[in-house]
Amino acid sequence: MGIAISALNPAAAKLNNPKLQVAAPYLIEQAWADYTPEQHAIWAELVTRRMPQLRQHACQEYLDGFHQIGLREDKLPNLTEVSALLQPRTGWQSTPVSGFLPPDAFFEMLANRMFPTTTWLRSRDSMEYTPEPDIFHDVFGHVPMHAHPVFGDFLQNYGKICAQLNDHEQLERMGRLFWFTVEFGLIRQNGEIKVYGSGLISSHGECTRVLAGGCEVKDFDLDAVLNQKFDTGEMQPVLYAVESFSQIYEATREAEHRLG
């Protein structure tokens, strides 16, 4: 049935990726030409607002990645162009999807080095926070880190491990590893705390609060992270700082041993 539909629909055929089974229905094309001047202006405002703080307090790998994948301050990113720069570096792509994915589809994409990327952009009345990820959170917040080889290996390994899990409690514990690294991770560089988690990169308020000492910063410890509950709607009371990105790659290997 899928073959018949693909044969009749060139767009569906183009989006068909043989590596993806459960995630396939969520793939879309980014209609980049349809973004309005107002939307490009909102993107520009969001980026311009974040960059001064990030130049000082984001980890170097994020700042390098921002330029390596060709992000611009004045225009929304074209995901095909981003992936064309990203893929030769680490094999990762920024792949457009229709919205939130169920866990099995999300993990399948990570395991194949495809980052599920939303294409809608927040409006002017929610510049600081959106309950669901938008293209600003996904591309500005996440994708620059995928240009770093060790981070890229970590994220793929994380996806591979989670794709094998069926146990709800194990998935919840692994969800905490994602939350305290990919979303809200900190790293020590040159004697300072730097941010690399997308929730901090893309949120001015939360990042400012954390940098001002508004939350407890603990040394990264796998057991502590796997046991640390979090509330997605609240400011974070405790975050974890790593010494290097090898540490979170090793953490996925360690987690895999324990789950196995």
SS3 193: strand
| Cβ at position 218, least distance to Fe ion in Å | 21
The first and second tokens of residue 17, run together, are: 């990726």
Single out the segment in contact with Fe ion by CB under 5 A; choices: 89-97, 111-119, 191-199, 209-217. Answer: 191-199
Beta-bridge partner residues of 241: 186, 219
Cα separation of 85 and 134, whole Å?
A: 21
| Cβ at position 201, least distance to Fe ion in Å | 10
108 is catalytic: no
Residue closer to Fe ion, measured from CB, 181 or 198: 198
Residue 118 lies near Fe ion (rule: CB under 5 A) = no
Single out the segment in contact with Fe ion by CB under 5 A; choices: 14-22, 83-91, 173-181, 197-205. Answer: 197-205
Q: Residue of minimal CB distance from Fe ion?
A: 198
| Cβ at position 257, least distance to Fe ion in Å | 26
Q: Contact at 8 Å (CB) between 136 and 46?
A: yes
Residue closer to Fe ion, measured from CB, 112 or 198: 198
Single residue of 198, 203, 236, 252 touching Fe ion by CB under 5 A: 198
**Residue of 94, 198, 202, 203 marked catalytic:** 202
137 is catalytic: yes
| Cβ at position 10, least distance to Fe ion in Å | 32
183 is catalytic: yes
In single-letter form, the type of residue at position 226 comes to L
204 is catalytic: no
Residues with Cβ within 8 Å of residue 23, at least 6 apart in sequence: 97, 101, 105, 106, 108, 109, 114, 116
Cα separation of 220 and 226, whole Å?
A: 11
Strand ranges for the chain from DSSP E: 93-96, 114-117, 186-189, 192-195, 216-219, 238-242
**Residue of 83, 94, 108, 137 marked catalytic:** 137
Catalytic center residues: 137, 142, 183, 202
Q: Which residues contribute to the site for Fe ion (CB under 5 A)?
A: 198
